[in-house]
Amino acid sequence: MKPVVDGKPVGYESASKVEVNLAQTGGQDRGEAPEMNAPLRPGVESGASAIEVEGSLAQTEGQEKGEAPAMNAPMPPGEVEAGAETSEESDELDLYSVMRQARADRVVEFSRRNKAIDTTGRPWAEVVPDRDYPYRPKDFIPPGPLGLKRKKASRKELSFFSEIFDRACVRYLVRCTNKYDRERRRAHPAEKRSRWKPTNSTELKAFLGCMIVAGYVHLPNLAFYWGVDEDCGCWLIKRTFPFHRFCQILRYLHYSPEGYCPPGSQRLEDFKAMERLDRVSKVRQVMERVNANSRSACHVGEHLVVDEAMVAFRGRHGLRQYNPSKPTKYGYCVRVLAEADGYILADEVSGARADPEDMSAYQRAMHGVGDDQVSPLDLKPARIVHRLTLPFQGRYRIVFCDSYYTDAQLADHLFAKDTYLVGTVRRNAASLPTLRHPIPPRSNRGRPPTQSFRDPFPKLNVPRGYSVRYHDGPLTAVKWKDTKTLILLLTGTSVGAPDVQVTRRSKGPGGGAIRQQVPCPAMVDLYNRHYKAVDKADQLRSSYEFGRPSKKWHRQLFWYVLNKAVVNAYLNWDAYTSERSRKNKENIPVHKTTQLSFRRALVRQLVGNFSARRKAPAGNPPVVHPVIEPVIVEHEHVRRGKPTRACRYCAKARRHMTGANRPRPHETIYECSTCNVSVCRVSLRPVCWREHLDEMRQQVS
């Protein structure tokens, strides 16, 4: 037991000081200035202990309501009850209460130091089904008609791709590539680069088309695409580029305006200083351009999803991460904002640069970061959601995310911006209410009759489909038992909506699997239907992903951006053809367009008739000439007369037959006037005469 000095245990601060500090800290977190001379409640002094504060507040509230003071309530300062113990004895008796209160204060202080949101004091209330809450979700405000903005959109696949990876991007790549090669030749004049000439937009588009071909025509080595053997080679790539020219463009392809930085030069030092602030500055402009074009290419829907995607890279770079829970375990972690169908609207590489909240005003101006991107949020994952959803706030959209991003402070912040949040949380999150709710009647195995909201449901004691809900104004916490316990934190959705029935498989009485209907909260069903959008985008991107492995870290990010542009263009094309087919205004096939057919058509339009060759490639396929049937005037089907002879082609067809079941060949008196070959009568068996003419044509050709 710690010694007591002046009625307080040594090593613990006064509870009132902790409360005042926390109140000031909470006000400063919200941008409020601390009140130095804030008035206290009646009967509360600044130096009172936690027990004195609690008793005085309870007594004051009871007197305001007209109630008599409690018998055991502590007296206000200045009054001494008759027969009361001395102050030292009462402090000694209440020592454990003070220690417990101080320990609780330290837990709250520790949580706030770790930037966790403490909501233990929030007025959580249980949700009553079918109740009309004051915070009803407002209807989504669509920015215009669904589908593409351009009503007279072209039916060509290239037009959809050019809306995302537009001509400005192509010209930018051409300019950076030519600048990089020109400065490299100037720095290394003795380097041999024969037959090099500056590239142009037409050649670069053909190069990108050949890279897309390599995504669905997989060969073990780049040189195999120019192979002349029967088991390798791709004719489209061979006729478009010679191997040497293709490797030149692949080597010197550049997308940074800095150009070539010679070793030891001042330009290299300046570039390294810039990379310390933005570690993906080489591909930053292309990424932002494609993101902006993706947002403007189509109208954004109501449901948005924030999740992470992995870009494979096994080289050495500071941004490379290891995530054992992902199929791609090594690579760059990209934070992605996507629509429900997998259309990627915005993304950012994790750890590429500091948060705008941590930048100075000069650094924000240098990187083009606006003041609107600076948020009052404490947690970094919450800041990511704010930055990604910033262009789409204000129209009552619903943002789905997982437990890494979900936070009560983020939900309140987005709700103030007319945007709703639905996300899972961990069961030990500080944002959850600490109210206690009754357990269903099946919990009769010696457990207490109540259970904290944060604790997991006991196994075999809670039926499948059981759920509880609490709300604090617009913020709602939902807990639902499926095979595991799912906890959601959300705003704006219909928390009082009736449950829906979902189908689940369970073990039957005989040991087999049976299907059963399980009640599920409406907001949980909404989350399950939309939160896999980023996984769907990864699936579309990885189906025909292209890009050669490289030790240069920025190459993998560039191929990721280009693959993302192709997938977004395909999703726009698929929505366009589906809408046109439904309206039946144009002659477009009703069947669903596959991504492979879209990529093949896009490649043909990107390459066109371009060829960087001076002569035909080696091992070219044979030229197919149109077949012109020769006019055979000398062969005539004539009647010869008796004696009859067996038809040559009937006998040939029966040679493989043996035994008594072998039929006899047809006897005929007809033959060819030139060949003197016996052939069946045309009116009876025309196939024999047709076979004879085909045989003669083959001999002539």
Q: Determine the 3-state secondary structure of 277 from DSSP.
A: helix
Q: Where are the beta strands (DSSP E) in 157-249?
A: none
Average pLDDT over the chain reads 73
- Paired sense of beta strands 398-401 and 420-424, if any: parallel
- Looking at residue 473, what is its pLDDT? 77
100 and 9 in a common domain: yes
Q: Determine the 3-state secondary structure of 472 from DSSP.
A: strand
- Looking at residue 293, what is its pLDDT? 94
Closest alpha carbon to 541 in 301, 294, 343, 322: 343
**Own/partner long-range contacts of 509-516 (Cβ < 8 Å, ≥24 apart):** none
Confidence of residue 635 (pLDDT cuts 50, 70, 90): confident
pLDDT tens profile 384-409: 999 999 999 988 899 999 989 998 88
Question: Minimum mean pLDDT among 134-138, 478-482, 682-686: which range?
Answer: 134-138
**Mean of the pLDDT values across residues 476-504?**
82
Tally of residues, the chain: 701
186 and 106 in a common domain: no
Residue type, 582: R
163 and 105 in a common domain: no
- Looking at residue 433, what is its pLDDT? 64
**Mean of the pLDDT values across residues 152-171?**
85
- Does some domain include residue 342? no
Closest alpha carbon to 215 in 600, 573, 569, 609: 600
174 and 93 in a common domain: no
Taking the CA atoms of the chain, what radius of gyration do you get in angstroms? 39
- Does some domain include residue 323? no
pLDDT tens profile 512-533: 778 888 889 888 888 988 888 8
pLDDT tens profile 673-691: 888 888 888 877 888 888 8
Confidence of residue 136 (pLDDT cuts 50, 70, 90): low
Closest alpha carbon to 2 in 104, 105, 98: 98
- Looking at residue 171, what is its pLDDT? 95
Compute the distance between CA of residue 221 and CA of residue 214 in angstroms, rounded to an integer.
Answer: 11
pLDDT tens profile 90-106: 444 455 565 556 655 65
659 and 574 in a common domain: no
- Does some domain include residue 161? yes
437 and 520 in a common domain: yes
176 and 88 in a common domain: no
Q: Is the pLDDT of residue 559 over 90?
A: yes
Tokens of 674: 């030139």
pLDDT tens profile 573-618: 888 877 665 555 444 444 567 899 999 999 999 999 898 887 666 5
255 and 188 in a common domain: yes
- Looking at residue 515, what is its pLDDT? 85
Report whether 57 contacts 24 (CB < 8 A): no
Report whether 568 contacts 164 (CB < 8 A): yes
Last residue of a domain, one of 589, 607, 625: 607
- Does some domain include residue 137? no
Compute the distance between CA of residue 434 and CA of residue 108 in angstroms, rounded to an integer.
Answer: 14
Closest alpha carbon to 128 in 467, 454, 469: 469
Helices within 338-470 (DSSP H only): 361-367, 380-389, 408-416
162 and 264 in a common domain: yes
How many domains in the chain? 4
Compute the distance between CA of residue 649 and CA of residue 652 in angstroms, rounded to an integer.
Answer: 5
Q: Determine the 3-state secondary structure of 437 from DSSP.
A: strand
Compute the distance between CA of residue 279 and CA of residue 675 in angstroms, rounded to an integer.
Answer: 83
- Does some domain include residue 621? no
Confidence of residue 292 (pLDDT cuts 50, 70, 90): very high
State if pTM tops 0.75: no
Q: Distance of alpha carbon 139 from its chain centroid, rounded?
A: 25
- Does some domain include residue 411? no
- Does some domain include residue 333? no
Compute the distance between CA of residue 269 and CA of residue 261 in angstroms, rounded to an integer.
Answer: 9
Last residue of a domain, one of 114, 144, 171: 114
Report whether 583 contacts 308 (CB < 8 A): no
587 and 520 in a common domain: no
Q: Give the range of the structural domain holding residue 658, as residue numbers without chain letter.
A: 637-700
Q: Is the pLDDT of residue 22 over 60?
A: no
190 and 99 in a common domain: no
- Looking at residue 323, what is its pLDDT? 86
295 or 432, which is more confident: 295
Compute the distance between CA of residue 645 and CA of residue 66 in angstroms, rounded to an integer.
Answer: 131
**Own/partner long-range contacts of 268-275 (Cβ < 8 Å, ≥24 apart):** none
Cis peptide before 643 (omega within 30 of 0): yes
Q: Is the pLDDT of residue 79 over 60?
A: no
* Burial (CB count within 10 angstroms: exposed 0-12, middle 13-18, buried 19+), residue 21: middle
- Does some domain include residue 212? yes
181 and 109 in a common domain: no
